[in-house]
Amino acid sequence: MSDYVIETEQLSRSFGRKRALNALSLRVPRGRIHAIVGANGAGKSTLFRVLLGFLPPSDGASRVLGRDSQALTPEHRGRIGFVNEEHTLPGWMSAEAVTAMQRRHYPRWNEAMYRHVLGHYHVLPHQKISQLSRGERAGLNLALALAQSPELLILDEPTLGLDVVAKRAFLQALLDSNATEHCTVIYCSHQMEEIERLADNLIILERGELRHMSSPEDFCERIRHWVADIPFRAPDHADVPGLLLAQKIDQLYHYTVLDQAEDFGAFLRAQGARYVQSMPVSLDSAVNGFLAKNHIAPAA
């Protein structure tokens, strides 16, 4: 058994001239909850489609649960649970009909798990899928995916478009299921709150490339927010080491920087700062700063 649930090697996929995946080499270890974060167009959806064998790569290779993505059998696919934001289930079918279909389809069906997860929701067996709320559809989808006893569960923005209550219910149902005792969870989301609550490991993709992978805490420690009072000319952005974000607010210069130790303060003083202060940042600010690197505001 492979130690990695997902392995990609120099994986590329282009659509016309656009590169959705750019020589991506990613290895996701077995177990725990891994969050994948990236701006829109970072290549997450393409990555999943290639991983699950729905789309061939332009170059490179990918393996999922130790097997080449392009050679997955139905038996292998059955070991992968997938929940996406659309919650696409046939609207004309009743909840019990969909469930009966899935129950027949997956040999490792776990009825107790299905009932347990769905216990978080008020879904009646005879209700048509189209009559369920978005939150209930998400819950039903999660129950179906977990009941197939997957080794790998991919949740692709599962709470997108859900209200606060439904979001929380989804997280509770997921955590309460003890899913991580049986499978590896990949959780894609833009919701930093959810990532903070769930993720053991944070994977950041940008323009089809792997930009970072570590625990969320270790990631936050790479980034720090500095404020300096520079009475004369502030340094050019290009000269500021590790700069992610720069802003002039009132008379003070704010810098969010990456991988800079305490000597960044000495740098600012050398640039004429009368005083400098620094503070750690939240995960939300850290990820935003990291992804905003190429959107630096104009010099004041």
Q: Looking at beta carbons only, is 108 or 197 nearer to another protein?
A: 197
CB of 148 to another protein, least distance (A): 22
| Residues within the interface to another protein (CB under 8 A) | 32-33, 168, 171-172, 175-176, 178, 180, 192-193, 196-200, 216-217, 220, 279-284
Give the residue among 3, 6, 2, 32 at the shortest CA–CA distance from 21: 6
CB of 168 to another protein, least distance (A): 6
Q: Looking at beta carbons only, is 186 or 234 nearer to another protein?
A: 186
Give the residue among 125, 137, 31, 41 at the shortest CA–CA distance from 84: 137
Q: How far apart are the first and last CA of the chain?
A: 56
Give the residue among 230, 182, 221 at the shortest CA–CA distance from 202: 221
Collect all residues with Cβ–Cβ distance below 8 Å to 174 and sequence separation of at least 6.
142, 155, 185, 198
CB of 200 to another protein, least distance (A): 5
Q: Looking at beta carbons only, is 68 or 193 nearer to another protein?
A: 193
* Cα–Cα distance measured from residue 219 to residue 58, given in angstroms and rounded to the nearest whole number: 31
Q: Looking at beta carbons only, is 55 or 287 nearer to another protein?
A: 287
Q: Looking at beta carbons only, is 137 or 224 nearer to another protein?
A: 224
Strand partners, 68: 63
CB of 171 to another protein, least distance (A): 5
CB of 156 to another protein, least distance (A): 19
Collect all residues with Cβ–Cβ distance below 8 Å to 286 and sequence separation of at least 6.
219, 220, 222, 223
Strand partners, 227: 254, 277
